[in-house]
Structure 1
């Protein structure tokens, strides 16, 4: 399974935004409700070097969260959840 994920990661563009998230993120950013994606990614890359696989934007009842999936330099896939308003790392877990 890990080989499949790594193989797919090599075929993906630098990052992929789920359908509809781009427009929603743009609207939330323009209204000043969330940080720009560039700032979130700059901080993620500084702490977690590797290849970005996917970015999703989740809007919950009282919060907006970026889910960032990346492949680290050791070939491990990580999922990070960050507060889109503050940039704070809320959760980090390794995918199997």
Structure 2
């Protein structure tokens, strides 16, 4: 019994440690977005969504923010009516849809 508890504690510790890098990445991504908006290089997410929400074509289930090819890009994960997941890449400064993947 004690060995089982020790193995469980170890497994939970390893799992928690695996989440730490993902949390750090998310915090860095949020900081990048905040700074880009402050510098006028990106629209705030709420404003951008107001412009393109109808064009996404499904239920929004995830968003990320990163630099791609010299510009800031919001990447939206959208679940369509048929259950398919699509990634929609949007220029963060102009709200222009750049690319769709997964349709």
Normalising by the residue count of structure 1, what TM-score does the alignment of the two structures yield? 0.69
The gaps in structure 2 that reach 5 residues or longer are: 1-24
- Counterpart Cα distance in 2 of 1:76 and 1:44: 19
Q: Where in structure 1 do 4 or more consecutive aligned residues deviate above 3 Å?
A: none
- Counterpart Cα distance in 2 of 1:82 and 1:29: 15
Q: 2:52 aligns with which of 44, 56, 75?
A: 44
Q: For residues 23-80 of structure 1, what are the alpha-carbon distances to aligned partners after superposition, in whole Å with 9 as ceiling and x for unaligned?
A: 2111110111111111222233211242222111111352111111111222111101
- Counterpart Cα distance in 2 of 1:85 and 1:55: 16
Q: What is aligned with 2:43?
A: 35
Larger RCO: 1 or 2 (CA < 8 Å, sep 6+): 1
Which protein is richer in helix relative to its size? 2
Q: 1:22 aligns with which of 26, 30, 52?
A: 30
- Counterpart Cα distance in 1 of 2:81 and 2:50: 17
The gaps in structure 1 that reach 5 residues or longer are: 1-17
**1:66 equivalenced with 2:74 (yes/no):** yes
Task: Tell me how many residue pairs correspond in the alignment.
Answer: 78
